[in-house]
Amino acid sequence: MQGIHGGGMSLWDFYARNSGEVLGLLGQHLSLVVTSTAIAVVVGVPGGVLLTRRPAWRGPILGLANVFQTIPSLALFGFLIPLPFIGGIGATTAIVALVVYALLPIVRNTYTGIAGVDPAVREAGRGMGMTDWQLLTQVELPLGLGVILAGVRVATVVSVGTATIAAAIGAGGLGVYIFRGVAVVDDTLILAGALPAALMALAADALFGLAERRFAWRGK
């Protein structure tokens, strides 16, 4: 079958010739992922903590986050574009969407991590006169950190993949190569975007896995 393959050059030639652009897109991609994950942590961890304090809210909030998760990414980007402030074409919309997707794993894991702390530990802490804040910061968060980090890990890895779609709405990132490649049926271009994205996801997974092992409390 006769295909229309652009260039026909190898992937390495492509990277060598376009190193500036590649680094630029890589940087954009990283920025999308890091920014959105950071926001999701700042919102999601306290959110998860709140759920442990207000059990009545757990069902509705986890349910809502669950629903967000099921929205197809391109559709979510499309919904957000017309909105003022957080919408429009470009990185802002992409980051909002990525935050939405990162929330469920982070909120849920924060809740599980803290709720999983031995109730006797909590009772002893309270009984000895620890304030709620002291209990949270000195006992619950340290003990739940492993599970929380696992949630952040999942969220980050997913973000790396979803961020490739952000190129459709002008947010840049490695998806630009992928979309360009798809438009002209050029495997080299597609790979030029997909390969670094896959590597980035693997690296994020490994890094957070390391952090989990290092910081998580492993008892008995």
- Which residues within the stretch 88-147 sit at the binding site for other proteins (CB under 8 A)? 88-90, 118, 120-131, 134, 138-139, 142-143
Question: Is 56 among the residues that bind other proteins (CB under 8 A)?
Answer: no
Beta carbon of residue 65, minimum distance to other proteins (angstroms, whole number): 28
Nearer to other proteins, 105 or 125 (CB): 125
- State the number of binding residues for other proteins (CB under 8 A): 45
Question: Is 167 among the residues that bind other proteins (CB under 8 A)?
Answer: yes
**Closest by Cα among 201, 63, 144 to 193:** 201
Residue that the structure tokens 């306290």 belong to:
46
Nearer to other proteins, 47 or 125 (CB): 125
Question: Is 161 among the residues that bind other proteins (CB under 8 A)?
Answer: no
Question: Is 172 among the residues that bind other proteins (CB under 8 A)?
Answer: yes
Three-class SS of 130-196: CCHHHHHHHHHHHHHHHHHHHHHHHHHHHHHHHHHHHHHHCCCCCHHHHHHHHHCCCHHHHHHHHHH
- Single-letter amino acid, residue 163: A
Listed in sequence order, the residues at least 6 apart from 82 whose beta carbon sits closer than 8 Å to its beta carbon are none
Tokens found for residue 128: 């000895």
**Closest by Cα among 208, 182, 155 to 39:** 155
Which residue stretch of 8-16, 153-161, 166-174, 194-202 sits at the interface with other proteins (rule: CB under 8 A)? Answer: 166-174
Phi first, then psi: what are they for 209, rounded to 5°?
-60, -40
Beta carbon of residue 21, minimum distance to other proteins (angstroms, whole number): 7
Question: Is 212 among the residues that bind other proteins (CB under 8 A)?
Answer: no
The binding site for other proteins (CB under 8 A) comprises 1-4, 6, 21, 81, 88-90, 118, 120-131, 134, 138-139, 142-143, 167-170, 172, 176, 179-180, 182-186, 189, 217, 219-220
